[in-house]
């Protein structure tokens, strides 16, 4: 696999801009809430910043996918926390999302259609031919389990903090297990996938 394949793999999981667009609003909420202890204003500033990112991407004529998902994600988090009046519920949608992804990735592996293969196969030009090559299929399965591990790790660490209402530690865990863990998992995916040559469609 060449450098262009590495770029495709990393881009498929969001890339640097995607991580920034979807992750910074949550960091802003954490910082503001720790300083002001004001749930509503912290969430509103987070939502406002997310909207500004989307507008900036639109002006620059760059992809809006991650920016819009960031706006939508923050809006849902704000609605949850505003409805209950509990600051920790700002992070509840993220926990639910990780649970859903963990289940989806696991089911895809069990069914023989690992999600990493479904995403990367077409991008790397082999489409779904990898399913007929056991070694290539095996690396997609291993990479998909890596993502399951990331989602489960987040739940194992963050859910107890959510249940105890420890906002500071929960927010910190969300940040630490956001960017760094996501990047490490994406990089690990590349290292796994590159161990077996791509399937030649010819």
Q: Would you give the distance in Å from CA 168 to the centre of its chain?
A: 21
Residue pair 193/143 in contact by the 8 Å Cβ criterion? yes
Summarize the chain as % helix, strand, coil (round to 5): 80, 0, 20
Q: What is the chain's length?
A: 202
Confidence class for position 125, pLDDT limits 50, 70, 90: confident
When the pLDDT of each residue in the chain is averaged and rounded to a whole number, the result is 84
Angle, nearest 10°, between helix axes 3-12 and 115-123?
130
Q: What is the C-alpha to C-alpha distance for residues 114 and 143, in angstroms, rounded to an integer?
A: 9
Name residues whose C-beta falls within 8 Å of residue 35's C-beta, 6 or more positions apart in sequence: none
Q: Cα angle vertex 27, ends 21, 33, to 5°?
A: 140
The span from the first CA to the last CA of the chain, in angstroms, equals 17
Position of tokens 């990047």?
A: 183
Question: How many angstroms separate the CA atoms of 123 and 126, rounded?
Answer: 8
Predicted pLDDT of residue 180: 80
Query: Does residue 2 have a pLDDT over 60?
Result: no
Q: Is the pLDDT of residue 132 over 70?
A: yes
- Token match 């997310």: residue? 50
On whether the CB atoms of residues 91 and 27 are closer than 8 A, the answer is no
Q: Give pLDDT tens digits for 53-94.
A: 878 877 877 666 666 666 777 788 888 888 888 888 888 988
CA-wise closest residue to 20 among 48, 59, 57:
57
Whether 142 has a pLDDT exceeding 80, the answer reads: yes
Q: Where are the domains of the chain?
A: 3-193
pLDDT bracket for residue 18 (50, 70, 90): low
Spatial distance between the Cα atoms of 154 and 177, rounded to a whole number of angstroms? 7
Separation CA 76–CA 93 (nearest Å):
7
Among residues 138, 146, 135, 151, the alpha carbon closest in space to that of 112 is found at 138
């Amino acid at each position: 696999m060449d450098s262009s394949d590495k770029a495709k793999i990393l881009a498929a999981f969001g890339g640097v801009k995607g991580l920034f667009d979807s992750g910074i609003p949550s960091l802003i909420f954490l910082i503001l809430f720790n300083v002001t202890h004001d749930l509503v204003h912290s969430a509103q500033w987070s939502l406002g910043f997310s909207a500004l990112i989307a507008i900036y991407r639109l002006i620059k004529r760059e992809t809006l996918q991650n920016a819009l998902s960031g706006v939508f994600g923050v809006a849902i988090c704000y609605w949850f926390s505003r409805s209950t009046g509990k600051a920790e519920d700002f992070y509840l949608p993220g926990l639910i999302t990780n649970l859903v992804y963990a289940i989806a990735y696991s089911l895809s592996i069990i069914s023989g259609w690992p999600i990493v293969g479904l995403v990367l196969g077409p991008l790397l030009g082999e489409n779904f031919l990898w399913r007929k090559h056991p070694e290539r299929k095996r690396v997609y399965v291993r990479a998909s389990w890596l993502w399951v591990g990331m989602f489960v790790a987040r739940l194992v660490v963050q859910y107890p903090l959510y249940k105890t209402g420890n906002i500071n530690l929960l927010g910190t865990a969300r940040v630490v297990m956001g960017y760094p863990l996501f990047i490490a998992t994406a990089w690990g995916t590349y290292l796994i996938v590159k161990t077996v040559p791509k399937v030649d469609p010819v």
